[in-house]
Amino acid sequence: MMKLKSVTKHYQHRGKTVRALHEATFDIPRGDYVAVVGPSGSGKSTLLLILGGMLSPMQGQVMFDGQSLYDLAPADRAALRKQKIGFVFQTFNLMPYLTALENVQVPLLLAGIGETEQQEKAASLLERLGLGDRLDHKPSELSVGQQQRVALARMLANNPAVILADEPTGNLDPETSQTILGFFEEVNREGKTIVMVTHDPGAARRARRTLQLLDGAIQHNGSVERQPT
């Protein structure tokens, strides 16, 4: 599904070169569920952005379904994101001025879907995530856990093949975290590929594999036994 070949990305920060990712090479097969772990500044964020087609590497190649992601024009990469990739953010990144329903409609709007279908699909997704009675609530009127569930519904709106999640449980209480991780397992079982950046070892253990980054280099790329929930 996704393949990184000797991908390197360095930043310049106050005159110093920061090694965000260095010669990273690994495969993510279809239906995989990978947890990316490592200390702050180890390159986890960079890896997620590069996988999402939002940050071009200095060297190396990123393949997505056999296509070199960064050989595509920016508009084509945006179209690919729209069709195949779903992002989940630590702070949810909901539009504060839109209702839950409207937030879920945004990716559908960008995909050019008509208003009626947008509303039906968004309402159905929010129902699935247990927010059927919160459709007209703005993010500020929702609990943190509910906000993350709206973000999950938004992520699923275009039925992406790949989910890129950044600390999806970072801001959540343990109970809500378990709900979200359970949801990830559920959609993974449905066939979606998940790459999840996390600091939480417990969350990492719920993934099929763990990828450890240290100073931009992959330290460990192996299978982790799934813990019983």
Residues found near other proteins in the complex (CB under 8 A): 45-46, 48-49, 52, 54-55, 74-75, 78-79, 81-83, 85, 87, 89-91, 93, 95-98, 102, 105-107, 109-111, 115, 118, 154, 158, 166-167, 197
CB of 71 to other proteins, least distance (A): 17
Cβ distance to other proteins smaller for residue 71 or 115: 115
Cβ distance to other proteins smaller for residue 38 or 52: 52
| b/e burial code for range 141-164 (CB count within 10 A of at least 16 → b) | ebeebbbbbbbbbbbbbbebbbbb
Cβ distance to other proteins smaller for residue 45 or 146: 45
CB of 12 to other proteins, least distance (A): 13
Is the dihedral angle over the CA atoms 183, 187, 190, 191 positive or is it negative?
A: negative
CB of 223 to other proteins, least distance (A): 26
Cβ distance to other proteins smaller for residue 14 or 222: 14
> How would DSSP label each residue in 52-115?
TTSS--SEEEEEETTEEGGGS-HHHHHHHHHHHEEEE-TT----TTS-HHHHHHHHHHHTT--H
Distances (CA, A) of 55 to 7, 50, 144, 159, 220: 12, 5, 29, 23, 23
In contact, 60 and 66? CB cutoff 8 Å: no
Is the dihedral angle over the CA atoms 68, 74, 79, 84 positive or is it negative?
A: positive
CB of 6 to other proteins, least distance (A): 20
Cβ distance to other proteins smaller for residue 158 or 193: 158
CB of 207 to other proteins, least distance (A): 18
CB of 197 to other proteins, least distance (A): 8
Q: Phi/psi at 166 (nearest 5 deg)?
A: -105, 110
Cβ distance to other proteins smaller for residue 73 or 226: 73
Cβ distance to other proteins smaller for residue 114 or 182: 114
CB of 228 to other proteins, least distance (A): 30
Distances (CA, A) of 124 to 3, 48, 157, 181: 33, 28, 10, 20
Half-sphere exposure of 43 (CA within 13 A, CB side): 25
